[in-house]
Amino acid sequence: MRLALFGPPGAGKGTQAKLLVERQGLTHISTGDIIRHAIRAETPLGQEVKKFVDAGQLVPDEVVWKLAKQAIANEGHDDFILDGYPRTVPQAEWMEAYLDEQDASLHAFVSLVVPDEQLVDRLSKRRVHVETGETYHLDFKPPPADIDDAMIKQRSDDKPEKVRERLAVYKEETQPVETFYRERGLLVEIDGVGDFEQVYERIVEAVQDQA
């Protein structure tokens, strides 16, 4: 099954992608993870894109498209879940053309719907383990006591002023991608509010018939 997970920052894409990988055997392709990895490793690409990520802005389409295409090609075209890609209409157009060429078009474009107030709360309280990438929420899923505090950090783009910028960018540049997939009959809207297990069940039930 080939899925894309969509939604504003903080909607729970990463969490749901992880569950779908563990339980449905899909391969996880996250452009955000690929980009953060390049920044941490200080590769030329990482150095080029850091300023966009730190400012809460999107990395230019051509750069992300190359990363996404490479990642999809490496993983094969049978079972994958795209997390955080496509994020603009040009990215969606390029990907559609590429997947059509490979005879591997998406089965569903899953959009998680969460109100803005909840997004701001989730992101401002999100913490990440710098090595494993495991995410925590200070209230609902605090980091276990035996983990060294120094390993738990707030993402630089999860600071309140960056969160507002990311939500504004989402509304302006990213939300139109939903219309693109609605027109193709692939949009599946999922209520992203509630326990992550509930949200997972909603996704699985909704995509079952799409494959």
* Residues with a known catalytic role: 13, 87, 126, 155, 166
Under rule CB under 6 A, which residues in 96-155 are in contact with ligand AMP? none
Q: Which two tokens stand for residue 129?
A: 């383990």
Cβ atoms within 10 Å of 175's Cβ, excluding its own: 14
Q: Which is nearer to ligand AMP, 31 or 111 (CB)?
A: 31
| SS3 label, residue 39 | helix
Contact flag: residue 32 with ligand AMP (CB under 6 A): yes
Phi (first) and psi of residue 42, to 5 degrees: 55, 40
Radius of gyration of the chain (CA): 17
Burial class (CB in 10 A: 0-12, 13-18, 19+), 209: exposed
**Is 166 a binder of ligand AMP (CB under 6 A)?**
yes
87 near ligand AMP, judged by CB under 6 A: yes
x/- map, 44-83, ligand AMP, by CB under 6 A: --------xx---xxx----x-------------------
Residue type at position 101: E
Q: Measure the CA–CA gap between 105 and 133, rounded to whole angstroms.
A: 29
Minimum distance between the CB of residue 52 and ligand AMP, rounded to whole angstroms? 5
- Greatest C-alpha distance within the chain: 50
Strand, helix or coil for residue 37: helix
Number of residues binding to ligand AMP, judged by CB under 6 A: 16
Q: Which residue is nearest to ligand AMP (CB)?
A: 32
- In this chain, which of 35, 110, 119, 123 binds ligand AMP, going by CB under 6 A? 35
The site for ligand AMP (CB under 6 A) is made up of 9, 31-32, 35, 52-53, 57-59, 64, 84-85, 87, 91, 157, 166
